[in-house]
Structure 1
Amino acid sequence: MEDKKVLLSVKDLEVKFRVRGRILTAIRGISLDIYENESIAIVGESGSGKSVFTKTFAGMLETNGFISNGDIIFNDEELSNTIVTLNASGKRELARIIDKLNTYSALESGADTYRQILDLESEKRAKETLSDEQDEEFNNKINDLKFKKTEEFNLKQTYDTKKEKDKIKESERKIKAFEDEIAKIQKERNDLIQKHKEEVSSDATYLNEYEKKLAALKAQYKLDISKPITKEQMDRNSVLGKEIYLSVGRFKYTTRRKYVSRILNDFKKALKLGENIADEETKIKIFDNVMYCKLVDEAETKLSGKIFINLARVTDPSDWGQTRGKKIATVFQDPMTSLNPIITIGKQISSIIMKHQNVSEVEARARAIEIMKKVGIPNAEKRYDDYPFQYSGGMRQRIVIAIALSCQPKILICDEPTTALDVTIQAQILQLLKDLQKEYNYTIVFITHDLGVVANIADRVAVIYGGQIVELGTVEDVFYDSRHPYTWALLSSLPQLAQKDTELYSITGTPPSLYNKITGDAFAPRNPYCLKIDTIEEPPMFKVSDTHYAKTWLLDPRAPKIEKPEIIRDIHEKFMKIYNITEVSENA
């Protein structure tokens, strides 16, 4: 894929959910590059993290979900190219931003002394409170009891208030016991902190030495920051000021002022700590939710730049409005839940076109009818005013695809779009997606647990288990030369491979609990080829070939050689026989 452009680059992505007082880690450090015009399948059992992973691309996580770490860089030229005009008020605002940066730059000279002050204060706080290990131990105990209390409360709600009074009373007793235990642990924690504070306050020698050092450092700091800033700093700040103005230029006035204030405050903190604010990585981190815009060109009345679009940091609804639907669209599993039952089919397509493409209702109608024809709706002009209930399941899914493609997105996420359809219609929908991809040049990200579907739609396959990619490769790599035991298990489960009068293979056990920290290989408890190291240390992603990677200790040179299961050996020949395919020789 070296000759293809990376459209979406996911790096060390971690996604968590707050569930009943506990934190569930659904995605654990996924890194993946997705290319222009390719079809990549995301495969795994239910609960493996497939849908959660792709929901982050369009900002569609549930309200209790959040991205705790990582980046999702979207390389779209149209969105990233930014121009803002500089009228009189804009020039005044820009001058104010640069003046603030120049004022804050004096703090750079005192960075070394300031860090010494922070270290000294941190040392005193550490003496007055708990160590990180003690604090974590107390928090873990409290969180565990809170979870048990919530579980007991939920169980109590299921009891019949007339027939199960004894069970209700027992639940209330347990809930009260949990509350008492939580209060007891919190008191122990507070008593220990108080003890440490009293020990410090009674140590007069330490306090005198501390005050003396702190006073000397503060005097030195005041002297350090009184130095004038250099021309190099002023030149740097002039560029930074323009980049700040570019980065917030797309927002309305009040929102823009709010973001400018936040960014300047973050630059002030970085300068106090002596960070290199001219470094691109540092600037990307400081701009964070606003997204950094690099200055490319400037003129008297305008600035031009390029935004580094990090979808993991987008929080503003207007930013998502530029991406979701317009650049990244989704086709969901059940078309009936994706369509509004009281709005006509045509109106649902044309409203999306009007929102994102700024055209009249007449032009939007014409475009909607055109896309309806492309997805295979017969008599599109007459069926434009039909309601969803007048369409079959397959036809409704075609309309959902039409809505998704109406703004010609760069990425089409297909979240098991054929699961609710019969086999014949499945094949038609898959073929439709492939045919339209050639015309519209979009990238398909196809979520499925059905490896049979993968063979028909994908160029590459990413196998996900326990919130991690455990194998990545081309379709041929994954089907014919798979290396991870989980991939072997998924392939062995294919009904097409089952022999007459034999039991269909199923994977034993259940996926891991994502509430807990996973030690070693997440698949180890279900892996019939588990090595001792699988239970101790997480395997790295081993390179099998330039296109093929697998996260299993079986690929370590020191590991014993293990043959894949009998049922998937010579899988290529088995598929040829099942589907009655005859290979044509090159000389034919």
Structure 2
Amino acid sequence: MEKKNVLLSVKDLEVKFRVRGRILSAIRGVSLDIYEDESIAIVGESGAGKSVFTKAFAGMLDSNGFVSNGSIIFNDPELSDTVVKLNSTAWKFINSYKKQLDENSRLELGSATYRKMLELESEMREKSTLSAADKEKEEKELHALKVKRTETFNKKQTLDPAKEKAEIKAAAAEIKKLDAEIKALEKATEQKIKEHKNAVAHDAAYQKSYQERMEKLKKQYAEETSKDISDSTKKRNETLAKEVYLSVGRYKFKKRFKMGKGLIAELKKAMQLGVDLNSEEERNQVFGNVTFRVRYLDENSERLHGTCIINLAQVKDQNDWGQIRGKKIATVFQDPMTSLNPIITIGKQITSIIMKHQGCSEVEARGKALEMMEKVGIPNAEARFDDYPFQYSGGMRQRIVIAIALSCQPKILICDEPTTALDVTIQAQILKLIKDLQKEYHYTIVFITHDLGVVANIADRVAVLYAGQIIELATVEELFYDPRHPYTWALLSSLPQLAERNTKLYSITGTPPSLYNKIVGDSFAPRNPYCLKIDTLAEPPMFKVTETHYAKTWLLEPNAPKVEKPEIIQDIHEKLLRAYNI
């Protein structure tokens, strides 16, 4: 495979949503590298997590959604390059940071002892509360009651007060009963914990042993942290102090002061715990708790120079998203009428984006907007510039949405089923337009779709999502001609173009699993006609088929029984050539 630069690196990404008192895991441990100038398709059924995955790195998650784990590193040299001026105020900050870091670095010398002190405190807490097994049992019972109450309340809200008074009364009684059970269970748990605390408090032998061990550790910790730090640590702290200032340098004075203070506190905590701050990965994580880390590169008498580690999973400031969303990562949505403002002219909608991100005048923005309209195929752009969206056809509106998305020449163009709302005759034109413009502007396409025909025409690689996980990743040729996951087999078998006369069109039985619950084993197992016993017990790893092809199925385990793909997709080549003109 040709060596390409990684533009976006997603590692162990988890995205969750708070929904009616419950947590839904929409994305579960996704890892994926997206390269420069490639077209990658994200396919799967509705609810698989396709749109949520792309919204996570475009900063468009709903207010109840959040990234609970993982990283999304965006490698954009232009955006990453950071310069801050060096003056007396800057040096005052840097020297203050250096002094605090040197003082806090003494804590690293006693980090092993500090961790032992924390373990001893943890031991005391565990003895003073329920055992892990009892706690899990209590939490499970309480969770079940709360879920039942939420479901009953939601059902009650749907009932008609005029016609279903008896049902409403019964639901209210059930809610009252469940509230009493929840309160009783919480009270019983509190009482058990209280009894455990009293037992430990009156255990004289254990209390004496605990105090002796803790005093010994505290004395040892005091001795270790009173020593001087090494010259190499001082040198590292000098770089760290500059990285702190580089990382907060883009903020105004008040916020810069607050963020710098936060970073010093996070670094102190890391030093206490013995985190290896010489490790790039560990340092990125510590900084990421407050803001992006800017890695120190060089300096002169006038400025500090560094490169920003942009982790889109940890963006804390909306101004940072303003530099990324639209300017570096743009999206073309499914329905152009919901993307365009119906009461603002087409020209105004394009020029406002250009002026915001490129800082040019309205006259310059108009010229660029007209050029963009011509590139996306709007005839007589000058005359149509002041038209409103309702005066354009569906296909032309989608061309305008593409023009807006590309007006700032982003690095990544997310296409969220951009042809679904269009007439079939227009779909091919829009797909061709997106591909043609990619050759000129060299952007990366992330294409979300249900249509495997679209995948065959536009994608270089394909990621198949199911229940919030990538279950197969391959080049488009490998996916169509050598699929390995049973779910991919089922998707391909469902193609209408493969159906023969007088035969029933294949459909996948069942429905995807609920993402409210913890999934045990292979998430596709209940719908998989080739399910093995291990599929119901353990989650399969991602097996490597070739350098570019991976699949998450136990069928690829060396000792698994040999299973052939369905007959309908055995000889798929000729049918696809005819159906999609590949």
TM over 0.5: yes
C-alpha deviation, 1:270, in angstroms: 1.5
C-alpha deviation, 1:177, in angstroms: 1.3
Q: What secondary structure, in the 3-state scheme, does the structure 2 residue paired with 1:48 have? A: coil
C-alpha deviation, 1:223, in angstroms: 2.8
- Partner of residue 152, structure 2: 152
Distance 1:541-1:220 versus aligned 2 partners, 3 A rule: closer
Q: Which amino acid aligns with 1:198?
A: N
- Partner of residue 530, structure 1: 531
- Partner of residue 354, structure 1: 355
Distance in 1 separating the partners of 2:7 and 2:61: 21
Q: What secondary structure, in the 3-state scheme, does the structure 2 residue paired with 1:40 have? A: strand
Q: What secondary structure, in the 3-state scheme, does the structure 1 residue paired with 2:546 have? A: coil
C-alpha deviation, 1:159, in angstroms: 1.7
Query: Equivalences for 1:204-219 in 2 at 5 Å?
Result: 204-219=204-219
- Partner of residue 268, structure 1: 268
Distance 1:457-1:580 versus aligned 2 partners, 3 A rule: closer
- Partner of residue 16, structure 2: 16
Distance in 2 separating the partners of 1:578 and 1:339: 34
C-alpha deviation, 1:510, in angstroms: 0.3
- Partner of residue 550, structure 2: 549
Q: What secondary structure, in the 3-state scheme, does the structure 1 residue paired with 2:298 have? A: strand
Q: What secondary structure, in the 3-state scheme, does the structure 2 residue paired with 1:318 have? A: helix
Report whether the alignment pairs 1:566 with 2:567.
yes
C-alpha deviation, 1:40, in angstroms: 0.5
- Partner of residue 73, structure 2: 73
Q: What's the % identity of the aligned pairs?
A: 66
Q: Is the 8 A contact 1:20 1:147 kept in 2?
A: no
Q: What secondary structure, in the 3-state scheme, does the structure 2 residue paired with 1:308 have? A: strand
Distance in 2 separating the partners of 1:236 and 1:10: 29
Give the structure-1-normalised TM-score: 0.97
Query: Equivalences for 1:218-257 in 2 at 5 Å?
Result: 218-257=218-257
Distance in 2 separating the partners of 1:355 and 1:135: 53
- Partner of residue 328, structure 2: 327
- Partner of residue 340, structure 1: 341
Deviations 1:51-93 (A, max 9, x none): 1111111111111111111111111000111111011111111
- Partner of residue 174, structure 2: 174
C-alpha deviation, 1:514, in angstroms: 0.8
Distance in 2 separating the partners of 1:55 and 1:239: 35
Deviations 1:388-424 (A, max 9, x none): 1111111110000000000000000000000000111
Q: Is the 8 A contact 1:22 1:143 kept in 2?
A: no
Deviations 1:127-149 (A, max 9, x none): 11123333232222222221221
Give the structure-2-normalised TM-score: 0.98
Distance in 1 separating the partners of 2:570 and 2:223: 75
- Partner of residue 430, structure 1: 431
Q: Is the 8 A contact 1:349 1:403 kept in 2?
A: yes
Q: Which amino acid aligns with 2:454?
A: V
Query: Equivalences for 1:255-334 in 2 at 5 Å?
Result: 255-288=255-288, 289-334=290-335
Q: What secondary structure, in the 3-state scheme, does the structure 1 residue paired with 2:32 have? A: strand
Between stretches 400-409 and 272-281, larger displacement belongs to 272-281
- Partner of residue 467, structure 2: 466
Q: Is the 8 A contact 2:462 2:474 kept in 1?
A: yes
C-alpha deviation, 1:158, in angstroms: 1.7
Report whether the alignment pairs 1:513 with 2:514.
yes
Q: What secondary structure, in the 3-state scheme, does the structure 1 residue paired with 2:33 have? A: strand
Instruction: Give structure 1 regions of 4+ aligned residues with deviation exceeding 4 angstroms.
Output: 577-581
Distance 1:82-1:579 versus aligned 2 partners, 3 A rule: closer
5+ long unaligned stretches in structure 2: none
Q: Which amino acid aligns with 1:477?
A: E
Q: Which amino acid aligns with 2:545?
A: V
Q: What secondary structure, in the 3-state scheme, does the structure 2 residue paired with 1:265 have? A: helix
C-alpha deviation, 1:210, in angstroms: 1.8
Distance in 1 separating the partners of 2:379 and 2:581: 33
Query: Equivalences for 1:493-508 in 2 at 5 Å?
Result: 493-508=494-509
C-alpha deviation, 1:276, in angstroms: 2.3
5+ long unaligned stretches in structure 1: 582-588
Q: What secondary structure, in the 3-state scheme, does the structure 1 residue paired with 2:310 have? A: coil
Distance 1:425-1:410 versus aligned 2 partners, 3 A rule: same
Number of equivalent positions = 581
C-alpha deviation, 1:577, in angstroms: 4.2
C-alpha deviation, 1:310, in angstroms: 0.9
Distance in 1 separating the partners of 2:183 and 2:256: 45
- Partner of residue 36, structure 2: 36
Q: Which amino acid aligns with 1:478?
A: L
Report whether the alignment pairs 1:370 with 2:365.
no
Q: Which amino acid aligns with 1:397?
A: Q
- Partner of residue 51, structure 2: 51
C-alpha deviation, 1:218, in angstroms: 2.2
C-alpha deviation, 1:114, in angstroms: 1.9
Distance 1:63-1:540 versus aligned 2 partners, 3 A rule: same
Distance in 2 separating the partners of 1:40 and 1:282: 30
Q: Which amino acid aligns with 1:181?
A: E
Deviations 1:317-349 (A, max 9, x none): 011111100000000001100111111111111
Query: Equivalences for 1:127-142 in 2 at 5 Å?
Result: 127-142=127-142
